[in-house]
Amino acid sequence: DTGVSQDPRHKITKRGQNVTFRCDPISEHNRLYWYRQTLGQGPEFLTYFQNEAQLEKSRLLSDRFSAERPKGSFSTLEIQRTEQGDSAMYLCASSLARGGMNTGELFFGEGSRLTVL
């Protein structure tokens, strides 16, 4: 399977604990995105990487959230001191931008569902 993969698919944690999600994009894609989706809403942009550089972060991304993409390959999204409001589906997507031109077409993984008790 050469699609976007995310791990774990489901995570249940207690309030105050730290969690980390991993995303493996399509190998030739240079852009990687994290989105958050809550019930009844569309995906909300969190952050994106061009290769290994994190170029944009949403105001939704508080200081408790950190994302990395070492060497421009897989990415991790860590949430520290989780709160119940962090419960959501965390989606990873990747895309290929050539010469700085991006058509915006995203390829999504199946998501990591976080439940904070």
Partner 1 sequence: AQSVTQLDSQVPVFEEAPVELRCNYSSSVSVYLFWYVQYPNQGLQLLLKYLSGSTLVESINGFEAEFNKSQTSFHLRKPSVHISDTAEYFCAVSFTGGFKTIFGAGTRLFVKA
Closest separation in Å from C-beta 112 to partner 1:
11
Q: Tell me the CB-side half-sphere exposure of residue 41, using CA atoms within 13 A.
A: 12
8: preceding bond cis by omega (within 30 degrees):
yes
Closest separation in Å from C-beta 52 to partner 1:
15
Under the binding rule (CB under 8 A), the answer on residue 108 touching partner 1 is yes
The binding track of 57-96 with respect to partner 1, each residue x by CB under 8 A or -, is ----------------------------------x-x---
Structure tokens at 42: 């569309």
